[in-house]
Amino acid sequence: MAGGHPSGAAAWNWRIVLVRPRNPLNIGAAARALANFGFGELWLVEAYRPSWEEARSAVGGEDVLRSARAVDRLEEAVGECSLALGTTAGSRRNLAREVVSLADLPAWLAKRRGRKRGRAALLFGSEKTGLSNEEMSHCHALVRIPTVPESPSMNLGQAVAVCCYELAREGLVSAAATPARARASDRANLHSLEHLFERAAAVLDQVGYLQPKSRGAMLLKLRRLLLDLGLTNYDVRVLGGILAQIEWKLRQ
Amino acid sequence: MAGGHPSGAAAWNWRIVLVRPRNPLNIGAAARALANFGFGELWLVEAYRPSWEEARSAVGGEDVLRSARAVDRLEEAVGECSLALGTTAGSRRNLAREVVSLADLPAWLAKRRGRKRGRAALLFGSEKTGLSNEEMSHCHALVRIPTVPESPSMNLGQAVAVCCYELAREGLVSAAATPARARASDRANLHSLEHLFERAAAVLDQVGYLQPKSRGAMLLKLRRLLLDLGLTNYDVRVLGGILAQIEWKLRQ
């Protein structure tokens, strides 16, 4: 599975994240698909506890399920990653994120700045509702599985299988699961960005920029804007310094 | 979904055939994947009746399930097709058929003689055992989904989804479901070939060529050999005439 893509995209350490999954069969099926295509990391966010317990007894993908992590907040699941991608059936409009067709994903990844192999998250929303706008605001882009308009919505386990197949097919899966060491020129991971974002939001609240009525929508916009900047660890340090100075001044 | 593949392969009218499926959830999931990627024809061979009844109530893919055909013999499901492909996890050896990786299937199809769009069957074996040797002998080639050696066996519904995705992705699915009119220069469909094969087997029995002990294995070999010849409708007519002459002589 390891190796470079013909178009030059580096392999990534992928983390498959199921957000609010409800059906234990889907969790089990997703784990099996990960195992089939050489993916090791499964994370569950806000998984319905009984489903999660039941899924652990599923056949196939036992190793993946055993080492899966269940967390309460999306931020925990994507924090260490420098790239987060959401999945969508693409029938929804106004997603306010770049939408990449799954078949074009290898080329899209190849174009991204930085050749270093990194950790990336691929998010799947709940069976009923998909990813929420808030969840999508944590994503750099959305991956659309090219289903037909008459029947756009895929079964969760099958959607995971198709995405894992496509990434493995193009050699975009890194076999080594060693965490990458952070360098100044590397893209900042989502944990650093979220921390920066929360500090910036607090400052904007203090200076009265955020209005109670539009606060929620504005914060989603700002988070997307921050992700789109493609900040490096160095950039985050610089911006953190600026924020610290403003915070200090506001405390006076 | 219609349109030519960049490498020049024509689109086919695909028929997805589940052979001896047991789990109603898998039948429902397969139907949903067909619908997601614009496939219309689902056939079931020796489907366990209660599973089949239960699957019809599944969510997603209702139209596909409503028009699905359940038959007792594989020959009925593939008879009208001029191409039959089996699927395999590829961990088995001595399959005695050419094995094509799913990712290489578009190029393989492009190389096949004849540019006319035809009807093709893609076969999936039962959840437990996959396709038998006898069932594989009806296939021109086997398609291997490139799973990792440590976890080769896919869930049936997911395997169908991945194959449908790959074929749709490469524009190899014909939107038109009109049956192709047979021409002399077209490849013979499997019904004609099977009929020819059965007549030839009867002749070989009469002349004492087939030994009781090795008869079964020999017939599988002969059917594979016949498929590999790539006979046209014209060829089948010529061979049918030769057989008729031999049959007549033997009756004297």
3-state secondary structure chain B: CCCCCCCCCCCEEEEEEEECCCCHHHHHHHHHHHHHCCCCEEEEECCCHHHHHHHCCCCCCHHHHHCCEEECCHHHHHCCCCEEEEEECCCCCCCCCCEEEHHHHHHHHHHCCCCCCCEEEEEECECCCECCHHHHCCCCEEEECCCCCCCCCCCHHHHHHHHHHHHHHCCCECCCCCCCCCCCCCECCHHHHHHHHHHHHHHHHHCCCCCCCCHHHHHHHHHHHHHHCCCEHHHHHHHHHHHHHHHHHHHC
Mutation target to probe the A interface, by most A beta carbons within 10 A, among B14, B158, B166 is B158
pLDDT at A206: 86
How do residues A73-93 score in pLDDT, each as one tens digit? 999 999 989 899 999 986 665
pLDDT in tens, chain B (252 residues): 334 444 455 688 899 999 999 998 899 999 999 999 999 899 999 998 888 878 876 677 888 988 899 999 999 999 989 899 999 986 665 567 889 999 999 889 888 755 456 889 999 999 888 999 899 999 999 999 999 988 999 999 999 999 999 999 888 787 655 445 567 778 888 888 998 999 899 988 888 888 889 898 889 888 888 888 888 888 888 888 888 888 888 888
Give me the residues of A, 212-251, that contact B with CB < 8 A: none
Highest mean pLDDT among A38-47, A230-239, B217-226: A38-47
pLDDT at B116: 59
Residue A84 dihedral angles phi and psi, to the nearest 5°: -130, 130
Q: Which amino acid type is present at position B247? A: E
Q: Does any CB of chain A come closer than 8 Å to the CB of residue B59?
A: no
C-alpha span between B19 and B40 (Å, rounded): 17
Strand A69-71 and strand A41-45: the pairing is: parallel
CB contact under 8 A, B146 and A154: no
pLDDT at A36: 94
Token pair 């959840």 in the structure block, residue: B127
Please report residues of B whose CB lies closer than 8 A to that of A147. 36-37
Out of A60, A155, A162, name the one closest to residue B165 (CB).
A162
CB contact under 8 A, B37 and A148: yes
C-alpha span between A192 and A208 (Å, rounded): 24
Q: Does any CB of chain A come closer than 8 Å to the CB of residue B31?
A: no
C-alpha span between A34 and A164 (Å, rounded): 7
pLDDT at A21: 94
Strand A83-88 and strand A41-45: the pairing is: unpaired
Please report residues of B whose CB lies closer than 8 A to that of A153. 36, 60
Share of residues in chain A with pLDDT > 70 (%): 88
Please report residues of A whose CB lies closer than 8 A to that of B1. 148
CB contact under 8 A, B169 and A152: no
Least confident of A54-63, A109-118, B99-108, B217-226: A109-118
Please report residues of B whose CB lies closer than 8 A to that of A155. 29, 32-33, 60, 157, 161
How do residues A180-227 score in pLDDT, each as one tens digit? 556 777 888 888 898 899 989 998 888 888 888 999 888 988 888 888
Q: What angle do CA A28, A119, A22 make, to 5 degrees?
A: 25
Strand partners, A19: A45
Out of B155, B161, B169, name the one closest to residue A60 (CB).
B155
> Closest Cα to residue B174, out of B243, B83, B87, B45?
B83
C-alpha span between B205 and B186 (Å, rounded): 30
Mutation target to probe the A interface, by most A beta carbons within 10 A, among B67, B124, B151, B174 is B151
Please report residues of A whose CB lies closer than 8 A to that of B165. 102, 145-146, 162, 165-166
The pLDDT confidence band at residue A2, using thresholds 50, 70 and 90, is very low
Residue A7 pLDDT > 50: no
pLDDT at A89: 81
Mutation target to probe the B interface, by most B beta carbons within 10 A, among A42, A62, A101, A165 is A165
Give me the residues of A, 133-162, that contact B with CB < 8 A: 145-148, 150-155, 157-159, 161-162
Q: Does any CB of chain A come closer than 8 Å to the CB of residue B33?
A: yes
Q: Does any CB of chain B come closer than 8 Å to the CB of residue A44?
A: no
Question: Structure tokens of B122?
Answer: 């893609």
C-alpha span between B228 and B136 (Å, rounded): 13
Please report residues of A whose CB lies closer than 8 A to that of B91. none
pLDDT at B161: 97
Mean of all residue pLDDT scores within chain A: 85
If you count DSSP H runs as helices and E runs as strands, how many of each does chain A have, helices first?
10, 7
pTM attached to this predicted model? 0.80
CB contact under 8 A, B155 and A161: yes
Please report residues of A whose CB lies closer than 8 A to that of B60. 151, 153, 155
C-alpha span between A24 and A53 (Å, rounded): 8
Q: Are A75 and A195 in contact (CB under 8 A)?
A: no
C-alpha span between B156 and B152 (Å, rounded): 12
pLDDT at A176: 52
Please report residues of A whose CB lies closer than 8 A to that of B14. none
pLDDT at B36: 94
Residue A199 dihedral angles phi and psi, to the nearest 5°: -65, -45
pLDDT at A90: 63
Please report residues of A whose CB lies closer than 8 A to that of B147. 36-37
Q: Does any CB of chain A come closer than 8 Å to the CB of residue B35?
A: yes
C-alpha span between B194 and B138 (Å, rounded): 9
DSSP secondary-structure letter at A175? Answer: S
Who has greater pLDDT, B42 or A50?
B42
**Closest chain A residue to the Cα of B1, Cα to Cα:** A148
